Amino acid sequence: MVVAAAPWARYRSLLRAERGRNTMESVVPRMTTLSVVIPMFNETAVIPALVARLRPVLDALGVDYEVVAVDDGSRDDTVSVLFDHGRDWPQLRVLRLRRNSGHQAALTAGLHRAIGRWVVSLDADLQDPPETIAEMLRVAREDGVDVVYGVRADRSTDTVFKRNTARGYYWLMRRIVGGDLPAQAGDFRLLSRDVIEVLRRLPERAPVYRLLVPSLGFPSAEVRYDRAARAAGETKYPLRRMVALAWESTANFSAAPLRLATWLGMSSFLLCLALIVFGMVAHVSGTTIPGWTSMFVAVLLLSGVQLVCLGLLGEYVGRIYATVQNRPAFHVGFDSLDKLPGAETVDDGARTPNFGPAVSAHG
C-alpha cells in the first residue's frame, strides 16, 4: 500500500536521521535479557522524567536490555521527543501505531515485538516506580517463576473515588476469574519469554492482561510498592474508560451476563405463573379484574426481559463476528529496530492463523 507523504514523511526523515548514528541493530541483539514495554499516548510532558528515572535503573542492572516505547497514535510531539532521547540512548526503540488503538492494544503491540528473555510492562506516568524492575528481575531469577506482579501496597495518592472503584473492580474480577487474581495488580508486571510466546498464540482480539495472565496458571510471585502520583500530564483512564475496562473484563472472561439473562427469564416466567394463578382464583371467587391492565403489565414485563436478553446476546454475537472477521487490533506504522527500506511503500501484512504478531508493517 502506498503511503501518503504526510504525516509519515516526517517520521521517515526522523528514521533516516537515526541511521546516521550507531544503528540500534549494533546495540540491541536479536535476543536481549530484558525488554521494557511502555505504551504511550500524548505523553510529551512526562517523557523527560521517565527517561531520567528509567535509564539509570536499567543501566545499573548490568544486563543487555531494550526499551520499547509504543506510541499509540499520539497527537502531540511524543514521537519526536522519543527520537530526541533515542539519539543518546541507543537501547530505546520507538514503535508507532497508525492510529489510537487503546492502551491494551498498544501493550499487545509492544509485547508481541519485544525480544527480551524477560519482558516488563510499565506505564509512562511514573505512578509505578521503575526502580521496582530490579527487584522483579531478582525475584523471577531466584524463585524460578515466570510472572512477577507489581502489587500496589499504598494507593493514598489516588482519589477516594478511584480507590473505591478499583477495590470494587478487583473484588468483582476475583469472583469471576477466581482467587488467583492478585488484588491491586495492574499492568505493571514481569513476564518470561515462555509466557510471551503463549500470549502471542492466543486468539484474543481485545485482551485484558490483568485477567488473562493469571488465568494461564504460570508460577508467579509478587513485589509490593507504593503507588505515586502521576509525574506529569493527564490521566488516560477517566471514568468512561474504567467502565469500558470493567465490561471488557467481564465479557471476555465470564458468561455471567448470559446467566443473568437466564435468571431474569426464569423470574419473569414464575411471575407470569403467579399472575395466572391469581387470575384463576379471582375468576373463581367472582372478582372482576380489568383485562387491559393485566395484559398491559404482562406485555411490558415480558418485552422488557426479552430486550435485555437480546441485548446481552448481541454483545456476545458481536464478539464472535469480530473474531470471524479476523481484523487486526492495531497497525504498526514503523519500528525503529527495523531497517528502513528504500521504497516508499508499507506492507501492512495480515494477522496469521496461528495468532502471532497481529501486524508486521515496515516503514
Q: Report the alpha-carbon distance of residue 334 to residue 332 in Å, rounded.
A: 6
Q: Is residue 1 in a domain?
A: no
Name the phi and psi angles at 188, rounded to 5.
-90, 100
* 143 shares a domain with 273: no
| Residue 115 within a domain | yes
Domain shared by 229 and 315, yes or no: no
Residues 172 and 272 in one domain: no
pLDDT tens profile 288-322: 566 766 776 677 677 777 777 777 777 777 677 66
Residues 191 and 284 in one domain: no
24-52 per-position pLDDT tens digit? 444 445 789 999 999 999 999 999 999 99
Residues 145 and 222 grouped into a single domain: yes
Q: What is the number of structural domains in the chain?
A: 2
* pLDDT tens figures, 271-294: 776 776 676 676 667 675 667 667
DSSP string, 171-212: HHHHHHH-TTSPTTEEEEEEEEHHHHHHHHHS--SS--HHHH
304 falls within a domain: yes
Q: Are 51 and 173 part of one and the same domain?
A: yes
Specify whether 237 is located in the same domain as 263. Answer: no
Residue pair 148/140 in contact (Cβ under 8 Å)? The answer is: yes
23: containing domain: 8-254+328-335
Residues 321 and 265 in one domain: yes
- In this structure, is residue 110 part of a structural domain? yes
DSSP annotation string for 61-93: TTS-EEEEEEE-S-SSSHHHHHHHHHTT-TTEE
Quote the cell numbers at residue 298. Answer: 404482562
Q: How confident is the model at residue 156 (pLDDT cuts 50, 70, 90)?
A: low
pLDDT at 326: 61
Q: How far apart are CA 71 and CA 363, in angstroms?
A: 15
Q: Is residue 134 part of a domain?
A: yes
Rounded Cα distance between 336 and 253, Å, is 35
Region of 44 please: left (phi>0), alpha (psi -120 to 50) or beta. Answer: alpha
Indicate if 202 and 127 belong to the same structural domain: yes
Whether 219 has a pLDDT exceeding 80, the answer reads yes
Average model confidence (pLDDT) for the chain?
A: 76
What mean pLDDT is predicted for residues 111-136? 94
